[in-house]
Each structure stands twice: as structure tokens, then as C-alpha cells.
Chain A
Amino acid sequence: MKPITSPVRISRRNPQDAPHSPTGEIRSGGTGADSPTVRRGMTRRALLGSMGAVGASAAAATAALDLFGSKGAAASTPPATSSTPASSSTNPLHQWAMVLDLRNCDGCKACTAACQQRHELNPEQEWIKVYSMETAGGQPYHMPRPCMMCEDPPCMYVCPVGATFRTDEGLVLVDQDHCIGCRTCMAACPYQARYFNWTTPKDVAKVPGMPRSPMFPTPQVKDTVGKCVWCADRLPHGELPACVAACPMGVIYIGDLTVDAATDGLGNVVKLSDFIRNNDAIRFQESEGTNPRVWYIPGHGQDLSNDTTA
């Protein structure tokens, strides 16, 4: 299969072909029309824009939508607990990204276990879930599914109280102190990446000095929604997320689009844009238009860019 957008998008995103400069993806949510990103194809925003051109009233409606979007974003500004150094800057230090090299995944689920241990989750709460899949030709393969940290996260758009928000560094997080438990985000997520606390969460011995925050949402809160956070509390300190560190096969790479580098838990460091381009990496269910920050390197002829083939 052809890599549809990823390598192209990276170069397009930085017209001066400067992979070491910030990507300009500086949106904390909503449908902010100020994004300098040049996109291929029709995005939600472009669609709304072209609809707006149809008539003055429609244009007004679109403007209103944008207004609403930024309002929603204002309501979902990262809380003060955020320790991301550049979270309030217009020039964030990082744009986090992930690459999963499916060629090496043997489905051992060490990532899931490490995540559940770190966040004290119940067994059914597999924030990074390893799916056993089959290619069209019947070949089995394994596919870990973390949160895709979409650039256009449907979960965030549908949250009625702005409890889901997107940081300047591209992390989609949940403020469980404001989640009303309506679960519309679970309906909206195309990747089944959200897990609700249907019963009382595990009794957790609190770590001193680490209160629950959207970046380290442990312990979980009953009757609210939780999901993978890419260990957002670790990233600013240069530490690896639990799943990355735990993977014995070096499948999961955590990277930064800003510095254009990524690393796995085995110490391999790659140039992110080359790694994505040279390995024909693709994004899962690209057709959803969510622009995930997770790339998969297939290797078994699987087609992940469309809806499920199972």
C-alpha cells in the first residue's frame, strides 16, 4: 500500500523544509482557523469553510462555528497543574508523535501490563491495547493501539463541558475533575481508545508529591472517562512512556516532530521524518480525518488506512 500523507505532510508542514524548526501545529483545541498547517485533501475545517462560501448566512454560521470552537478551546485550556514547560507559549518546545513498528511486534502485551501497572488500572482498562488482527490474506499480526493523539480529536469536539482538551504540544488529555460522564467521547473516538470507570477504580496507594492530574490521571475517578496519556508527566523530563520503556521488541517509538527525532525503549534513535517516509508508515483509519499523531509501520501487507478489515 502507498503511504498516503505522512511523509508528504511533514515536508509540507514546513515549507522551508526545515524539519528542525517547530511545526507550527499550535492549537489547543477547537476549530481554530489560524492553523498555518497546509493540509492535503478536504479537512473538516476546509469543508466548513467552503460551505461558508456558499452564502452570507452560511458564512456567518461558519464564523460562528469557529467562534464556538475557540470558545470551547478556551473552556478547555490546560489546567494550572500542567507542567509542560511551553504549554502557554505560542512556540511549544515539543510536538509529540509516536511510531509503532508492527514488523517487530510479537503481541506479548508488555506495553499493556506496564501501562496498567503505572496507572493502577483495572484489567479491562487497556489504554494501550494489543489487538490480534489478520491481513486480508489471513496472516495474523499484532497491533498495539495507544491513544492516537489526533490533531482533530473528535472526542474533544463532542465533549459538552470541555473536559477533554488538547495541549499545545499535541497531547489530548482528560480533566477527570470536570468530566460529567456522558461518554459522548467514547462514541466519537474511531479507535475505541477511551475507557470508562464503570465501577470504583482500584484503591491506589498515592505517590507522595504526585497528585492526580490530566497528565498523570492516577487514581482514576469513578464514573468518568480515562484514556492513554502517553505518560504526559514523563515526557517533559525526557523520560520514556511506560509502554515504550517496557517493550522488549523496540516496537514503540516516542518522538518529537519539532526536533524530528524518535526513540524506542531499546535505545534506537531515528530521524522521525526519514523513519516514517522510508518505511512507508501510515496512520490508522486515515479516512476518519482525525489526523492522528501515531504512525504505523506495516510489514505484513496490512491495510490500516481504511476502516477495519476484520
Chain B
Amino acid sequence: MEQLHSIENVPPLPKVRRAAIRPILKPGRAFWPVVALLTAIVAWGIMAWTVQVRQGLGSAGYNDHAFWAIYIADVITFIGVSYGGAVVSAILRLTGAHWRAPLTRIAEATAVVTVIIGASFIIPHLGRPERVLELIWRPNLSSPIFWDFVAVSTYAFASIVFFFLPLMPDLAVSNPAMEEAGLTRRARLFKLLSFRWNGNQRQHRRLNGAIGLVAIMIIPLAVSVHSVLSWAFSLTSRPWWHESIWAPYFVVAALYSGIALVILVVALFRKVYGLEPFISERHFVRLGFILVPFGAAYLYLTLADFLPGSYVGEHGIAAVFSAVITGRYALWFWIFVFGGCIIPIVIMALPWTRRLGFIVGAAALVDGSLWLKRIIMVVAPANYERVNGLFGAYHFTWISISVTLAGVAAIPLLLLLLFRVVPILPVTEMEEIAAIEAGIISAHAPVSGGVGKTIAPELVAPGVTAIDTTANLDMHTEGI
């Protein structure tokens, strides 16, 4: 069958196309058992939540001295990791980093999936979820919670658009394969959602402009989301919450944990879908290098946060800080400091640990520890009794743990299901970048991702080792 060109004059890469739609055509033997297992975990969590609805929020360990706890920490964590997908994709697009190409689809899909899961955790967080639409019917515009709702909805919508735009041409070029394989429903869906993409210059220019615009917009949008989330805390007068550092705290933590999640998800799908020819160990090293400054920045913000409050010793803040640094929360806090910041940085700093397994381990440490950090940040000030200065306590229950694990299991589950429907590799983008690197088209021509047109190929090519993503492909790499 003749290959459709994704963009005029850009030759197709059959290997990429085959790999991108392999999960759609024929999932592996393990696919359905894994999906069933993950579905079971999610179903168990939903069951636990129904028990919570019947018995009241107290069944999740909440009490008057732990009025906010695990679920709001989950909201922050999941919406936080969503930022990583958006940023890897948006910033690397805008800076014209060619090596990004095979990662963007997975990264953007992760952003979409995690922001949906994170927003869903509002439901178990609320005592009266059936009244959640009152946020629309009778909003109080002076409430930070209302603006949380606005910001998260806007960001979720933007991340879906950001996921969808680069997908359109891919659906068009994958459509014939769907028809050939007899997947008529998917073929129809692809045809519908590709909006008659034929790859001509005009379409390409328009799409390109739109992607560039959304890539720019999604960065401040995500900054605003995490800031507004933090203001749900810092607009109260509670010790430690009421701090101006919380907004940057949340933004940096979101980037840090988000990039870590991209590493985990890319590693997972690379392995299960055999994407090793396109995604090399080098990709992980690069992502790991992006991790380091954010880890260092977060560690720095933590120090900048704790030093002044501990030094001066105002009653409330001193009590909370001493509980965190040396008191009842100290174990968890120091696990975060070492596991969440220092060890991952060391892993990336030492050449002999800068390898796939270690990097994936570092990423897992980062995400786990930052969840822990959020728990501390939520629970310690909530536990603090502001009249007499004593501390209450929060204990996890099987219900809150089950619901949280359901959220964790939902990430791979939704991604597995999503890549049953859409190509897992950004075919068009990879073909285009391969063509640019092969000198077939000029980078001055519109490149999906916006600012590529301003970057001359001779400036990009030498420094970009993205060649290893395409070097073993079947064509058009000799010219480099």
C-alpha cells in the first residue's frame, strides 16, 4: 500500500508508523489481563469510596484536627504530575529540541490522564460530592476554592487541546491502516477527528500556528493552576500555610514530580510496546538532567521556607516547624529530603548511576517522596490546634489508601486504553524531524511545534543527538 505523506514532501517512516499503531491493531497477550487487574484496583477504590459516602468522611481517617489530609494531597499530586507532561512537550517544542519527538505523545497523554484523575479526587475530598455543581450554580467568587475549580477546568481543557492538535495528522495517516485491518469503527473515528487533514502547506501552517500558541499558553496556564491550588492553603491564616512561598513551591514541585512521572510512564510503555528503537537510554538521561535543577530548586525552596520560620520562633509556625523537622512528622520529612531530592540528584550526578534502571528508580523516589511531602504540608498545619497549640493526629484507613491506590492504578489503565485508540508515537512529528535532519525539508519551513522555523538546521543538527532516535530507522538519516 502506498504510504500517505503526513506533510507535503516529507517522506513517511514505515517503522515508526507500524510501531505507533501496533497497540491499536494487536495488543500483546498480557494486555487484557493487565487491564483487568488495573480495573479491579480502580473498582476496589470506588467501592471503598461508596463505603466512605455511607459512613461519612470520618471513615477515611478525618477528624476536626485533620480536616484536610490525604485526598487534597492526592489532588495536588496528580494535578502536579500532569504539569510534567505538558512541560516536557511544550518547552521542548518551543526550544526546538528534536530529541523530544518520540516522547511528546506519551507525555501529553500523561498530562491529560493525570489532570483528569487529579480533578476527580475532588469528589472523595468533598463531604457532599452530590452538591459539587453548586460551585457553578451559586459560586462565591471571593473563595479560592472556586478559582481552583476554574483554574483546574481551564488547564484540563487546555491539556486536552494540546494533546489533540498534534494528533490530528497522525490520525489521518493512520486511517488507511485501520481500514486495512478491518477496524472500521476506529477508521471512522480517525477520519472524523482528523478533520480532513491532507498535509498541504496551508493546513500545516495553521496547525503549526495553533500548536505553537497552545504550547506557549499552557506554560503560564499551568503556573496559574498550581499557584491557585496553593492559595487554597495560603489564603488562610494557618501557620505554615499562610506563606508567600507556597505558590512557587507548588509550581516547582509540580514540574519536578511531573518530569519524574514522564520518565516512569515512558519507561513503562517503551518496554511493553517495544519502543526501544525510537526511545533510547539517552532520552532518559536527558529527562533525568531536566529533573536535577528542579530537584535542587525544590530543596532550596524547602530551606528558604523553613529557615526564617524556625529561626524567629513565632508561636504557631515554630510549633509546626519543630514538629516537621524534629518532631512527629520528622521521619517522613527526612525521607522526603533524602529520597525525594538528594538521592535522585546524586543518581544523576554520578556517571556510573546515570543509567536507565537507576534513573527510573530515582523518578519513582521523587514521585513517592513528593506525595509524602504534600501529606506533611497538608496534615501538619491542619493538625495544629490554634487555640492551645497542641497537635491532633491523622491516620490512614483502608478506605483512604484504597481510593488513593485506585488513582495510581488509573494512570496506566487510562493510558493503556488511550493507546488502544490513538497512535502512541507522534508519527507526523517524527517524520518531519527526520526529514529536517536529513536535509530533505528545511527547518525554515513550518515545523510542528512553532518556533522551529526560526532555527536553522545547521544550528540544530550538530548539537542534537536525536539522531540516535532515527539513526536506525530505515531512511533519510544518511544525510546528516
Chain B residues closer than 8 Å to A196, beta-carbon distance: 57, 62, 64, 67, 127
Chain A residues closer than 8 Å to B63, beta-carbon distance: 124, 198
Chain B interface residue bracket vs A = 35 or more
B122-176 with Cβ < 8 A to chain A = 125-129, 131-132, 134-135, 138-146, 149
B126 engages A199 (CB within 8 Å): no
Q: Which residue of the partner chain, among B55, B129, B388, contacts A308 with CB atoms under 8 Å?
A: B388
> Count the A-B residue pairs with Cβ separation under 8 angstroms: how many?
158
A160, B139: Cα distance in complex, Å: 6
**With A68-B141, A182-B126, A198-B57 in contact, do A145 and B387 touch (Cβ < 8 Å)?**
yes
A298, B314: Cα distance in complex, Å: 23
A103 within 8 Å of B (CB atoms): no
Chain B residues closer than 8 Å to A308, beta-carbon distance: 315-316, 386-389
Q: Which of B129, B132, B236, B387 has the most CB of A within 10 A?
A: B387
A308, B63: Cα distance in complex, Å: 22
Residue of B nearest to A164 (CB): B140
Q: Which residue of the partner chain, among A31, A160, A222, A307, contacts B145 with CB atoms under 8 Å?
A: A160
B138 engages A158 (CB within 8 Å): no
B231-242 CB contact bits vs A (8 Å, 1 = yes)? 011011110010
Residue of B nearest to A221 (CB): B128
Chain B residues closer than 8 Å to A250, beta-carbon distance: none
B305 within 8 Å of A (CB atoms): no
Q: How far is the CB of B56 from chain A (nearest CB, A)?
A: 4
B406-421 with Cβ < 8 A to chain A = none
B135 engages A160 (CB within 8 Å): yes
B67 engages A181 (CB within 8 Å): no
A310 engages B389 (CB within 8 Å): yes
Chain B residues closer than 8 Å to A162, beta-carbon distance: 138-140
A186, B385: Cα distance in complex, Å: 11
B142 engages A31 (CB within 8 Å): yes
Chain A residues closer than 8 Å to B388, beta-carbon distance: 131-133, 308, 310
Q: How far is the CB of A189 from chain B (nearest CB, A)?
A: 8
A57 within 8 Å of B (CB atoms): no
Known: A178-B138, A181-B57, A310-B387. 20 other contacts (CB 8 A): A30-B142, A71-B141, A72-B142, A75-B138, A75-B139, A76-B140, A124-B64, A158-B236, A159-B143, A160-B146, A178-B131, A178-B134, A179-B128, A180-B132, A184-B145, A186-B67, A191-B387, A197-B56, A222-B127, A288-B237
The residues of B with any CB-CB pair to A shorter than 8 Å are 55-59, 62-64, 67-68, 125-129, 131-132, 134-135, 138-146, 149, 232-233, 235-238, 241, 314-316, 382, 385-390
Could you list 17 A-B pairs, sorted by A, with CB under 8 Å?
Answer: A31-B142, A75-B140, A76-B140, A143-B387, A160-B139, A161-B135, A183-B68, A195-B64, A196-B62, A197-B56, A197-B127, A198-B63, A199-B56, A200-B56, A308-B315, A308-B388, A309-B389
The residues of A with any CB-CB pair to B shorter than 8 Å are 30-31, 65, 68-69, 71-72, 75-76, 124, 129, 131-133, 143, 145, 154, 157-162, 178-184, 186-188, 190-192, 194-200, 222-225, 288, 306-310
